Chains A and B, each alone.
Chain A
Amino acid sequence: GDSVTQMEGPVTLSEEAFLTINCTYTATGYPSLFWYVQYPGEGLQLLLKATKADDKGSNKGFEATYRKETTSFHLEKGSVQVSDSAVYFCALNTGTASKLTFGTGTRLQVTL
């Protein structure tokens, strides 16, 4: 079955540090890949997505590239802010309008 593996958190960084959150996947077929962010006490918001190999999703300074050869979709940001503190979930689905399979989530804490 489909699965998503994320690096264990929490990740604690100082403001303006470089962020990488690793995500690898296994899937049948050709999945679409997503990063969602969850702020404290809230639901999930789509951060970025990629639908085919070598696509790069980007939003709010975050980027992730769909690497089929390494089955990865690592999330990066060059300079994090305190407001980026949240839980980040990597996810995939295969087919249209199908359920998402989530990774375990990685908590990011950014300090001044």
Chain B
Amino acid sequence: GAVVSQHPSRVICKSGTSVKIECRSLDFQATTMFWYRQFPKKSLMLMATSNEGSKATYEQGVEKDKFLINHASLTLSTLTVTSAHPEDSSFYICSAFPGGGTIGDPLHFGNGTRLTVT
């Protein structure tokens, strides 16, 4: 149980185009999802917290107009990288808490999306 599905796993796009990444909780409802970005050989950087039915909360330094997050249902959050540039190339990972909100509930992660902007 507690599966988080992320799609696509890999995407290559041209500079200036937009790319949408989907994150689904397959067997649980997630009012909150988190989007992380991972640079090569680096740790995970939290980009934003996605809240169902409301605006996402972005971390400092993350451009909200560039990384659009929509959490339209309890099982789906999307991240759209708008007007992508080569420096946006990275590994993007979504995550969610399947539990009802208990201390120590682990975060479950999707398998990530490798974005390459040419």
Contacts and interface: CB of A to CB of B under 8 A. Distances in A.
B44 A89 contact: yes
B87 to A, nearest CB: 21
A49 B109 CA distance: 15
Nearest to A50: B104
A43 B110 contact: yes
Nearest to A33: B104
Interface residues of A, number: 24
Contact of A96 (B4, B34, B105): B105
Contact of B34 (A45, A99, A103): A99
B106 A46 contact: yes
- Among A43, A93, A95, A103, which residue has the most Cβ atoms of chain B within 10 A? A43
Contacts of B109: 36, 43-45
B107 A100 contact: yes
Contacts of A50: 104
B42 to A, nearest CB: 7
Interface stretch (B14-22, B61-69, B74-82, B94-102): B94-102
Interface in A51-106: 51, 89, 93, 95-97, 99-100, 102-105
Nearest to B6: A43
Given A44-B93, A49-B106, 8 more contacts: A34-B107, A41-B114, A43-B110, A46-B107, A100-B34, A100-B46, A100-B95, A107-B41
Interface of B: 4, 6, 32, 34, 41-44, 46, 49, 93, 95, 97, 99, 101-112, 114
